[in-house]
Amino acid sequence: AQPQLLVGKTITITAGPTREALDPVRFISNHSSGKMGYALAQAALLLGAQVNLISGPVTITAPAGVNLIKIESAEQLLEQALIFAPHSDAFIGCAAVADYRAAAVAEQKMKKQGDELTVTLVKNPDVIAAVANLTDGRPYTVGFAAETQNVASYAKGKLTNKNLDMICANDVSQNGLGFNSDHNALTLFWHNEQKELTIDTKSALALSVMTELAKRL
């Protein structure tokens, strides 16, 4: 049994990819498996928290006992995040939110055309930045940063620019780590502190992240 460090706390976690529709049958997405976010949800439950898990489409099963909110697009994710975040003690953004969506979603299936097709994309809202900038009920806000280079400096940049309290950075250029893998390695950054979590299963890392978070709530 785990020490019940999060009893009485509500944690909202975003997980998985988003899907940005192009037409009724097509979308833009990414390879996020949702494993890290789901592991965080499981860890928060084990420490006694109430957990809202706002999830994009994934193939894994949500831990029993979470409040699962299914979304597809970044805009749907934002809407749900803004509903749950103000009632949460902490908000963890683990979702791989698509940075862009189609400027216009075709009402009918797009027909095959010439050799080239141009789709105009527009920027999606930054969900975690919106949560971190709430003036009423702002939760302790934790981001993730997947980087292939300059991990520490990019992560610290996001901590500051997005107004986060904590960021968990991973180097996704390392083979077998991060995206889709069951393993990961993370460096946690706060504004005046950092902590290295070496390679481990996502469940073990998630428990360490939650334990660090619990100390700060």
What residues are designated binding site for CTP? 93-95, 99, 109, 125-128, 144, 158, 162
Buried b / exposed e along 83-95 (16+ C-beta atoms within 10 A): ebbbebbbbbbbb
Q: Using the rule CB under 6 A, give the single segment among 39-47, 64-72, 126-134, 192-200 that binds ligand C5P.
A: 126-134
Site for ligand C5P in 147-166 (CB under 6 A): 158
What tokens does 162 get? 């997005």
Q: How far is the CB of 161 from ligand C5P (least distance, A)?
A: 8
What tokens does 181 get? 């893998």
Q: Which is nearer to ligand C5P, 48 or 100 (CB)?
A: 100
The only residue of 39, 43, 52, 126 in contact with ligand C5P, by rule CB under 6 A: 126
The only residue of 22, 144, 187, 189 in contact with ligand C5P, by rule CB under 6 A: 144
- 3-state SS, residue 124: coil
Q: How far is the CB of 89 from ligand C5P (least distance, A)?
A: 17
Q: Is the dihedral of CA 73, 75, 77, 80 positive or negative?
A: negative
Catalytic residues: 30
- Quote the DSSP letter at residue 173: T
What residues make contact with ligand C5P under the rule CB under 6 A? 14, 74, 93-95, 97, 124, 126-128, 143-145, 158
